[in-house]
Amino acid sequence: MENQDDWGPSSAFAAIVTWRHPPPVPLLRSLLDRTLSGTPPLTYPPWVTLPGARLQTAYSSWDYWYMQASPPRQGADPGSQRVARIILQAAAIHLTPVTLELGGKCPCLISEEVDILAAAHRLAWAKFFNTGQSCVAPDYVLCSQATCDALLPALQQTLEDFYTKDPQKCPDLGRIISDRHWTRLTDLLQKSQGRVVLGGQSNQSEKYFAPTVIVDVKEDDALMEEEIFGPILPILTIESLEEGISFINRKEKPLALYVFSDKSSVVTKVLEQTSSGGFCSNDGIVHMTLPGLPFGGVGASGWGSYHGRWGFETFSHRRSCMLRGWALERINTLRYPPYQENNLGWLRWTISPKKNVFNNCSLM
């Protein structure tokens, strides 16, 4: 008798991904994971439009969906969650499983014990990579007033080192994907009650938006209502680490959470007392590039995960298999009728797990 797992494809697959990582890394990863699992994928890449009227009909042809949703559409309506609800409603009709990687407001908590210049380098790179248009970009910073005062000049110097004193002419700074999203970011900046200390310049004809840092931001500010998904970095001040953790826990669970600190005790405390799709200390974004770690959200930031082994498992079906012959048939008579009271004890013994015997299976 032998027990084993049999990994097989979970049949047809489709993926909806976005434009934000050129080349579309999520698309390539999902295709690779799906191909390794043995099932041919069918993908809607970011440059193909999937009309809403065809969405429900399309589901009848595919047995698994992976979705990486778009950024916020307008106002305070998080687009990723809005699109996810449409996907889930259509998938439910056909009992189609869905893996969602959505996004959200990813916090970056910076403690007072930190290498401020290194923190400025890593924060600026993670935030303004792809002009802030990344689902795992730090969305806002939580730090003390003293840390904020030290961080601002370090960020100013870092941004000049990265993108020169005239970032509009810098070839290393991207542009906003569309006029609609440029307008959305401009409206957010105008509605904010915070104070712009770095950047703030923009040009619609070029879809240019300068790396922008804002201080004196309150919890109910317009910038805190939705995922920013652009090069605007609000800094909120806190009095203690505990206040920062409490702030994070009041919000929806983010796709990523970052903490910058020289003290491992601070990192451990934040890790143990919060929940997020992913976690990274003293850096940003890079955790999602590691094939040895699963990547995915939790709660409002999505569910399911992929990358490496986890992508293979997500897009596969794990079938349980029991392979046995015809031996021990006389013992099987205990489970055949007619039933007798004096056989009940033996029957219970045969169906109970036997440690280190027959691969931890029962005799029956």
Q: 72: Cβ–Cβ under 8 A, 6 or more apart, which residues?
A: 78, 79, 80, 184, 226, 227, 229
Among residues 106, 135, 143, 280, the one annotated as catalytic is 135
Indicate the helix (H) or strand (E) that contains 311: helix 308-314
Residue (of 91, 78, 26) closest to 305 by Cα position:
26
Peptide bond into 337 cis (omega under 30): no
Active site (annotated) includes residue 135: yes
CB atoms within 10 A of CB 232: 27
The structure tokens listed for 280 are 């990274």
The structure tokens listed for 282 are 């003293």
How far is 185 from 21, CA to CA, in rounded Å?
19
Among residues 101, 106, 226, 280, the one annotated as catalytic is 101
Cα separation values, 89 from 45, 96, 111, 242, 325, Å: 21, 10, 42, 39, 45
The CA-CA-CA angle for residues 272, 274, 275, to 5°, reads 110
How far is 207 from 175, CA to CA, in rounded Å?
6
Catalytic positions: 101, 135
